[in-house]
Amino acid sequence: MIDVSFDWGWTARNWTDGMKIGALLLEHIALSIIPVLIAVIISIPLGYLVFLTGKAANGMLAVLGVIYSVPSLALFVALPAMIGTSILSPVNVAVALAIYSIALLVRNVVDGLRSVPGTVKQSASAIGYGWFRRLLVIELPLALPVIFAGLRVVTVSNIAMVSVAAVVGGGALGQLFDRGLNSSFLTPIIVGLALSLILALIADALILLIKHQTLPWARGRRLA
């Protein structure tokens, strides 16, 4: 029978010792955010290349959709054999989440670029903008609201999926769920859920703040 009481003393004792909750939280942040940063760097140029293929982009996006639908646990188990790492290595989690993030973000980049009106691009070309300058100054800024929407989904999803890696010996805060379920002790589960939720809310708020600071016109349109 599971112990449903919450033990504040256990949480305090295990913050720096025992389960080392503080260290697990930092590991969770790193495993969630690093794949997102990698995905942003890769997805923008890759998304632009996919966008340039025109109608063929739909087929490529369908393939990426299939990749994103692969269960995370299956990828965590399969990756060590593919990249030559230990199954307990946090690299497996980071690589898997980077793959998921790229698969989703590329679609948002393509959708964002597709949302740019053709007349705007024609006007930019008419005043002498080359393709690269037009991309940086016109197309990407106008596509950013859609890209930011995907970034929010990817970041929150990563924070949730890191915990799944506890099944294969990793998982950062997911280890608290594993500990609680194995010992029929509710406190670690509540702590893990609360920290994961707080982390997701903070990450989402930070992305929204960055969006509002970098896209003031989008903020004004939303408020109007």
pTM, full prediction: 0.85
Q: Is the residue at 219 inside a domain?
A: yes
Residue 146 lies in a domain: yes
Task: Give burial (CB, 10 Å; 0-12/13-18/19+) of 160.
Answer: middle
Find out whether 212 and 219 touch, Cβ atoms under 8 Å: yes
- Is residue 49 one of the residues assigned to a domain? yes
Residue 59 lies in a domain: yes
Closest CA to 117 of 91, 101, 96, 138: 138
Which structure tokens are listed for 120?
Answer: 């705007």
Boundaries of domain holding 15 = 8-223
Q: Do 102 and 42 meet the contact criterion of CB atoms below 8 Å apart? A: yes
Assess if residue 17 is contained within a domain: yes
3 assigned to some structural domain = no
* Average pLDDT along the chain, 224 residues, taken 10 residues at a time: 72 86 92 94 94 88 89 83 81 90 94 92 89 91 93 93 78 84 86 93 95 75 45
* Distance in angstroms (rounded) separating the CA atoms of residues 68 and 77: 16
Residue 1 lies in a domain: no
The pLDDT value recorded for residue 169 is 67
Three-state secondary structure of 123-155: HHHHCCCCHHHHHHHHHHHHHHHHHHHHHHHHH
Check residue 19 and give its pLDDT. 81
- DSSP bridge pairs for 185: 3
- Cα dihedral value 45, 51, 52, 57, nearest 10: 120
Cα angle 174, 93, 181 (rounded to 5 degrees) comes to 20
Number of domains in the chain: 1
Q: What is the pLDDT of residue 78?
A: 85
Residue 2 lies in a domain: no
Query: Tell me, what CATH number does 159's domain have?
Result: 1.10.3720.10
Euclidean distance between CA atoms 115 and 100, whole angstroms: 23
